[in-house]
């Protein structure tokens, strides 16, 4: 039944509320597990991710095209799986890496990763590249020819639903894909630990699924993408 204009669908509202609650609970669980990892565990994860992403042809094959020479990543922060070694390997392989710079309005701009990071202010402390901004939003990445975007996540499921940190920065970024031809969409790859690939992740209507997942042991393309 179509609801009259201006009225809420109680079923949709309840489903949305359940998803929000489910996300909050899952975030607490994943964050607790990540906090319990030892320094050795974190180091091993970072090295393993670097080895996996070092086979850049494996990621490029997922988009049925050679690597463009440009990939969007991010500088890991806190308990996130480490991306420092991963970024080094990409640079050594001849792939130029872009890192996000958070604007005051919550949007993401991009600068080349030159190895010099400074603590950002929005949100506080997250490492950001030191160089000049060369692109704005997802449109800018597409114009630069980036075919792969590594996306931070707390968890992802087998259909590509991604659980973020709740800041909304990547939700806003990926919403920009709605105005870009699907043929030009970059491959969205979530980066998580192996035990964070779950059977199901709560999702809301505005959530955009990722296309693949990178863990310390594998790169997997989801069938529905």
Give 139-191 pLDDT, tens digit per residue: 999 999 898 999 999 999 999 999 999 889 999 999 999 999 999 999 999 99
- 1 lies in some domain: no
Residue 37 in any domain: the answer is yes
pLDDT top residue among 154 and 16: 154
Query: Which pairing describes strands 155-157 and 124-129: parallel, antiparallel, or unpaired?
Result: unpaired
Q: What is the mean pLDDT of the chain?
A: 86
Q: Which of 30, 14, 12 lies closest to 163, judged by CA? A: 30
User: What's the structural domain count of the chain?
Assistant: 1
Cα separation, 213 vs 201, whole angstroms:
14
Section 14-34 average pLDDT:
83
What is the pTM for the complete model shown? 0.86
Q: Does residue 123 have a cis bond before it (omega within 30 degrees)?
A: yes
Q: Is residue 88 part of a domain?
A: yes
Please report which residue ranges of the chain form alpha helices under DSSP H: 10-35, 39-54, 56-62, 84-92, 137-144, 169-175
Q: Which domain holds residue 17?
A: 10-221
Is 5 within the bounds of a domain? Answer: no
pLDDT of residue 61: 58
Q: What is the pLDDT of residue 15?
A: 52
Residue 2 is assigned to a structural domain of this protein? no
**23-25-26-30 Cα dihedral, nearest 10 degrees:** 130
> Which CATH number goes with the domain that contains 76?
3.40.50.10420
Are the CB atoms for 74 and 152 separated by under 8 Å? yes
pLDDT, average across residues 21-50: 95
Residue 160 lies in a domain: yes
φ, ψ at 223 (rounded to 5°): -65, -30
């Amino acid at each position: 039944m179509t609801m009259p204009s201006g009225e809420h669908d109680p079923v949709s509202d309840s489903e949305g509320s359940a998803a929000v609650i489910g996300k909050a609970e899952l975030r607490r669980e994943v964050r607790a597990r990540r906090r319990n990892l030892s320094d050795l565990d974190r180091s091993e994860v970072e090295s393993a991710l670097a080895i996996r992403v070092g086979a850049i042809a494996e990621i490029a094959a997922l988009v049925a095209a050679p690597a463009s020479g440009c990939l969007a990543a991010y500088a890991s922060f806190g308990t996130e799986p480490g991306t420092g070694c991963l970024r080094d390997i990409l640079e050594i392989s001849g792939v130029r890496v872009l890192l996000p710079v958070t604007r005051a309005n919550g949007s993401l701009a991009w600068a080349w990763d030159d190895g010099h990071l400074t603590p950002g202010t929005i949100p506080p402390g997250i490492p950001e590249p030191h160089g000049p901004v060369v692109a704005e939003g997802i449109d800018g990445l597409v114009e630069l020819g980036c075919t792969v975007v590594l996306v931070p996540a707390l968890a992802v499921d087998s259909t590509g639903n991604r659980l973020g940190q709740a800041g909304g920065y990547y939700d806003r970024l990926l919403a920009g894909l709605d105005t870009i031809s699907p043929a030009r969409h970059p491959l969205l790859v979530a980066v998580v630990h192996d035990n964070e690939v779950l059977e199901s992740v709560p999702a809301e209507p505005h959530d955009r699924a990722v296309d693949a997942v990178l863990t310390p042991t594998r790169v997997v393309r989801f069938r529905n993408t």
